[in-house]
Amino acid sequence: MYIVSSYSIAVVFTIITMLCWGSWGNTQKLAAKTWRFELFYWDYVIGMVLLSLLVGLTLGNHGTQGRGFVEDLMQVSSAGILSAIIGGIIFNASNILLSASISISGMAVAFPLGVGVALVLGVIVNYISAPKGNPVMLFIGVALIVIAIILNGMASGKMSSGEKKSSSKGIWLALVAGVLMSFFYRFVAAAMDINNFESPTPGMATPYSAFFIFSIGVLASNFLFNTILMKKPFVGTPVSYADYFKGSAGTHLVGVAGGMIWGLGTILSFVAAGKAGAAISYGLGQGATMVAALWGVFIWKEFKGASPKVNTMLLLMFLLFVAGLSLIITSGGN
């Protein structure tokens, strides 16, 4: 299988992760013009599973190090399978809430709040489980991002005075999503032998098989979580499975593309964890908050007409995110 050979390559992978995790929401925004997010989300999950298979059968079988994708999948212990599936279930619950928040409050609000909280808590959880990197620099970087999250919340609050009830629901959904999301990565990482991808311990998974099992956990739990949400949506009227099959091929492909974009970022993060460590790999990937906020502000114009004070808050938010992420990157080189 393909294995990252240096920390610098791992950082490049996590930057790609950040771009992928911060950009998939654009597919939901595109589909939302004619398509409910509950229906979009089925295609998103299908895209994730397809990507896990594609990458597993290609990069997962590349080279002579480690174990091949199918070989590795067949030998993963029941404990490893369960851990990766639990990670998928937790992620799915959090991501459905985040998607609902995007549909209510927009990308510039939902991502910095939800994924920002996930970054902070997730770095702490993953570092405690597998310490790697300079903790002082790592957590100073996290602290700067906390301040950036607070600024984003203040800016969104000043923009939502006319839609207070709807915006509050979106903000609370994003915060709950962030708390849940902070735990999914740890469960998947626990299924892998992060310290030795070259000769992984028997019974433990490689990144490629762990990601596939994780994706199956997402798909299986979606039949429960998303079915409930279709019947009792946070906003709007209920939708049915019959509505899903009324969608055009183009609409379905947009959702599949969203899942594949997120999935690509995730598998690169898992692969990078071998050199960067789970805390740093996860933390850098969750810099997606900044990427999503940039999309929301400059492409989707979600802060159009903002006052100079709000624009100043947004500028400070971006600067603090960059500073925080830079410290997280540097922490791994020590």
Q: Per-residue pLDDT tens, the chain, 334 aa: give them.
A: 999 989 999 999 999 999 998 898 899 888 988 899 899 999 999 999 999 999 999 999 987 788 899 999 999 999 999 999 999 999 999 989 987 887 787 766 777 778 778 878 888 888 888 888 899 998 999 889 888 878 877 787 677 554 444 567 888 888 899 999 999 999 999 999 988 888 889 999 999 999 999 999 999 999 999 999 999 998 789 999 999 999 999 999 999 999 999 999 999 999 999 998 888 888 888 777 778 778 878 888 877 888 899 899 989 988 998 898 889 888 886 5
Is 296 inside any structural domain? yes
- Secondary structure of 166-223 in the HEC alphabet? HHHHHHHHHHHHHHHHHHHHHHHHHHECCCCCCCCCCCCECHHHHHHHHHHHHHHHHH
Separation of alpha carbons 206 and 202, rounded Å: 10
Is 92 inside any structural domain? yes
| CA count, 13 A, side-chain hemisphere, 309 | 6
Helix (H) / strand (E) element for 308: namely: helix 308-331
Is 2 inside any structural domain? no
Tell me, yes or no, if the pTM score tops 0.75.
yes
Separation of alpha carbons 248 and 26, rounded Å: 18
Q: Please give the structure tokens belonging to residue 217.
A: 């956990």
Beta partners for residue 324, in sequence order: none
Beta partners for residue 14, in sequence order: none
Separation of alpha carbons 107 and 124, rounded Å: 25
**Domain range holding 187?**
7-331
Is 1 inside any structural domain? no
The one-character DSSP state at 1 is -
Overall number of domains in the chain: 1
Separation of alpha carbons 216 and 106, rounded Å: 28
Name the one residue in this structure whose structure tokens are 């004619």.
34
**The predicted structure's pLDDT at residue 102:** 76
